[in-house]
Structure 1
Amino acid sequence: MKVADIRRKFIEFFVANGHAHVPSSSLVPGDDPTLLFTNSGMVQFKDVFLGVEKRPYVRATTAQRCVRAGGKHNDLENVGYTARHHTFFEMLGNFSFGDYFKREAIRYAWELLTVHYGLPPEKLWATVYIDDDEAYNLWTQDIGVPAERVVRIGDNKGAKYSSDNFWQMADIGPCGPCSE
């Protein structure tokens, strides 16, 4: 499957499930002085998450162009400075603004991966934040992923809520456990 096919199937899947297809925003956020570049798919929805903006839709899907070259999400530290790596990528995202939560998000992810992308379920693993029993139970009981293939990810550097499976927009503001 080619990149264009992955992107198309992703967008089509979420549009078919009631999400508005929102175009990629600019790589240089015009109204956010805290960012040099758009570094994730949620940047154009930041004010929605903060509760200062309301959109005419409660579900969205995007293929957002991103650059991570400094700050909190500095991929240069991970890939290094080489001629073979870059930090420009396209982040596929689906967002719910109070319309659905973990159960539906996990079900959507599973259906997209197994039905529409055709990935074999027996080869898929999931990760959850260490204390997120709700997501763990959804993966193991609702979806049926064997417990040995659902990994609880703890905190990095011994700091509470500093996990690869705990999403934070910034030091303060919207945050919470995530599952991948």
Structure 2
Amino acid sequence: MKANEIRKTFLEYFKKNGHTIIPSSPLIPKGDPTLLFTNAGMVQFKGVFLGEEKRDYRRAASSQKCMRAGGKHNDLENVGHTGRHHTFFEMLGNFSFGDYFKENAIAFAWEFIAKEMGIPSRDLWVTVFQEDDEAADIWAKKIGIAKERIVRLGEKDNFWAMGDVGPCGPCSEIIIDQGKDVGCGRPDCAVGCDCDRFLEIWNLVFMQYNK
């Protein structure tokens, strides 16, 4: 499946689930001196999450043009050294502004990955922030993920912040196991390893805090 097909399928899925499709904002963010480049899909919604502005919709989805070449999310030094970092990329995202939260967000993500995209569940793992019992319970009890495939990781991997200041919170990732052939070969290689075997394909960010 090509990038255009993935983008189209993603946006159509969330549109039929009540989301307003929002165009990508500029690569250089307007009115935000904390960022050099737009580095995530939520940047154009920062004011909404902070309660500084309101939109006429409570659910949104977008395909955001991003660059991570400075600041907290600096991928530049990894470009060319891994198979998963790029100077420029598009970030697909769905957002809720006081509408749904963890349970529905997790359900949307899993349905899209497992049903719409048809990725076998045997190849998928889930990570949660080590203190986020709520998300872990939703994955296990509502979605039916085996507990041994739910991995708890620390702040470095599973606590998201847009920058040094601003919205932040625990996150939960869907990971695909690409197989031993693309891994590092170490006997302890597992979810959380920095090699290319276990690839993050979805990051659910639960913005519960503002710092």
TM-score, normalization by structure 1:
0.90
**Paired residue secondary structure (1:42):** helix
Q: How much has 1:77 moved relative to structure 2?
A: 2.8
Q: Is the 8 A contact 2:67 2:88 kept in 1?
A: yes
Q: Name the residue aligned to 1:95.
A: 95
**Where does 1:104-143 land on structure 2 (aligned, <5 Å)?**
104-143=104-143
Q: How much has 1:80 moved relative to structure 2?
A: 5.5
For structure 2, list consecutive stretches of 5 or more residues without a partner in the other structure.
174-211
**Distance (whole Å) between structure 2 residues aligned to residue 27 and residue 139 of structure 1:** 34
RMSD: 1.6
Q: Name the residue aligned to 2:44.
A: 44
More off after superposition, 23-32 vs 55-64:
23-32
1:147 correspondence with 2:140: no
| Aligned residues with identical type, % of pairs | 64
Q: Once superposed, which parts of structure 1, at least 4 consecutive aligned residues long, lie more than 4 Å away?
A: none
Q: Is the 8 A contact 2:46 2:167 kept in 1?
A: no
Residue 164 of structure 1 aligns to which amino acid in structure 2?
A: D
Q: Name the residue aligned to 1:35.
A: 35
Q: Name the residue aligned to 1:164.
A: 157
Q: How much has 1:81 moved relative to structure 2?
A: 8.0
Q: Name the residue aligned to 1:160.
A: none
Residue 144 of structure 2 aligns to which amino acid in structure 1?
A: G
Q: Name the residue aligned to 1:21.
A: 21
**Distance (whole Å) between structure 2 residues aligned to residue 81 and residue 37 of structure 1:** 22
Number of residue pairs matched?
171
Q: Name the residue aligned to 1:176.
A: 169
TM-score, normalization by structure 2:
0.77
Alignment deviations for residues 116-167 of structure 1 (CA, whole Å, 9 cap, x no partner): 0011122211110001011111111111111111110113xxxxxxx22111
Residue 33 of structure 1 aligns to which amino acid in structure 2?
A: P
Residue 122 of structure 1 aligns to which amino acid in structure 2?
A: R
Q: Name the residue aligned to 1:6.
A: 6
Q: How much has 1:41 moved relative to structure 2?
A: 0.5
Alignment deviations for residues 78-125 of structure 1 (CA, whole Å, 9 cap, x no partner): 33689xx64100000000011000000000001001110011122211
Q: How much has 1:168 moved relative to structure 2?
A: 1.6
Residue 174 of structure 1 aligns to which amino acid in structure 2?
A: P
For structure 1, list consecutive stretches of 5 or more residues without a partner in the other structure.
156-162
**Distance (whole Å) between structure 1 residues aligned to residue 168 and residue 26 of structure 2:** 24
Q: How much has 1:172 moved relative to structure 2?
A: 3.8
Q: Name the residue aligned to 2:58.
A: 58
